[in-house]
Amino acid sequence: MDNAILHAGVDELNIIKEYVLELNGYQEKNTELLKEEARLEKLIASKEKDVTDETETTLKKRKNELTMTYESQITNLNARNKKVRAKKEKDKGAKMSERISEETAELRDKNKELLLEIRSKMKADKTPRICNSTLFFSFFMPKALLEFFIFLLGLLVVFLVIPFGIYLAFFAEKFGELALAILYIVMILLVGSLYLAINNKVKERHLETIREIRGLRHQIRKNRSGIRKIQKGIKKDSDESVYGLEQYDDELAEIEEEIRRVAEEEKEELNTFETVTTARIKEEIQGRYAEELSSLRQKQKEADAEQKQTEEKIKEISLMLSKQYEAYLGKDMLTVQKLDRLIARIEKGEAADIGEALALERN
């Protein structure tokens, strides 16, 4: 088309106006279709998220329920196991005590006889009871390591702790070191006198009996050591067959086997859950949403196809207007408002054709 269009009249402008109106209509429709596509896309994403969330929640809940069922059984079995073991240990302890009592009976009886013999000798010789004490033998006839230790400890208390304590508490501030020296002398005289008195009047007078008592006490200690050795050996003995605890062992073996069976069954059920049940749960949940999602996707597909068609029409009309009219009228004049103004000028007689109306409009 050449510039003859500028000599055309109202009819040509109405044709151009129809094209512009059609283009505007398609543009408005395209905008609405784009909004609808965005709405459908957002709705589909929301539904897909609902499917994912419900699937994850359901799977987690079902798996926890499955696990808790088996864990509860294992917890009960472990509690039963603990209870049976406690009963076994109690029964074993009682029977071990009986065994210790039986195996040490001879030594304990001997010690009873030795104690009676000591009392008999002391009574016959009228020996003071103090002579049958560790303290007496530690100070007057020390022989064992413990007795020497008690003897040294006694010396430390008598000749250091007591006099020095009395000195600090009562005499240090007023009398000085002289009081400490006097205290030591007094302690030596008192303790020495007491020691000699006991030695002469008790030890020397009953020396033979005291020596016999020492021998008997030594035998008692030896027997007690033997008792402790027997006790230690019995407690270390790992052989439980002598206690008749087989019924507990059988019950514990049954419980352990049941625990292993439940654990294995749990493992198998969890494997089935992961490989089979999970797929079924997903399929069931997806099935409930399938129709709605399919409908939404179909609507989105239709809206997308319609939007593309509309876009093609916009492109087609825009290219046609651009090729046929923009070069003569200018792009700014290709609006309904501007075209109506041009039509009005011609209809009022202000201009004879499009060219004159366009010139007046631009001026």
Contacts (Cβ under 8 Å, ≥6 apart) of 172? 179, 180
User: How remote is the C-alpha of 70 from its chain's centroid?
Assistant: 20
Contact in structure between 277 and 61 (CB atoms under 8 Å): no
Question: Which residue has 């005291």 as its token pair?
Answer: 210
Which tokens sit at 92?
């074993």
Q: What is the pLDDT of residue 131?
A: 87
Q: What does the CA dihedral 157, 160, 165, 166 come to, rounded to 10 degrees?
A: 100
3-state helix, strand, coil in the chain (%, to 5): 90, 0, 10
- How far is Cα 40 from Cα 301, in angstroms, rounded to an integer? 10
Q: At how many degrees (to 10) do helices 354-362 and 336-348 cross?
A: 110
Contact in structure between 252 and 84 (CB atoms under 8 Å): yes
Q: What are phi and psi of 350, to 5 degrees?
A: -70, -30
Which tokens sit at 232?
């230690």
Q: At how many degrees (to 10) do helices 278-321 and 10-103 cross?
A: 160
- How far is Cα 272 from Cα 280, in angstroms, rounded to an integer? 11
> Cα–Cα distances in Å, from 293 out to 35, 47, 290?
19, 7, 5
Q: What is the pLDDT of residue 81?
A: 94
- pLDDT (tens digit, 0 to 9) for every residue of the chain, 363 residues total? 456 778 888 888 899 899 999 999 999 999 999 999 999 999 999 999 999 999 999 999 999 999 999 999 999 999 999 999 999 999 988 989 998 999 899 999 999 999 999 999 889 988 888 888 888 888 888 888 888 898 899 888 888 888 888 878 777 777 777 777 888 888 888 888 888 888 888 888 888 998 899 899 899 999 999 999 999 998 888 888 888 888 988 999 999 999 999 999 999 999 998 999 999 999 999 998 899 899 999 999 999 999 999 999 999 998 998 888 888 888 888 889 988 888 998 898 888 888 888 888 887
Q: What is the pLDDT of residue 152?
A: 92
Q: Which of these, 37, 99, 42, lies nearest to 299 by C-alpha position?
A: 37
What is the maximal distance between C-alpha atoms in the chain?
Answer: 167
Q: What is the pLDDT of residue 3?
A: 65
- How far is Cα 319 from Cα 163, in angstroms, rounded to an integer? 126
Q: Which of these, 339, 265, 325, lies nearest to 4 by C-alpha position?
A: 325
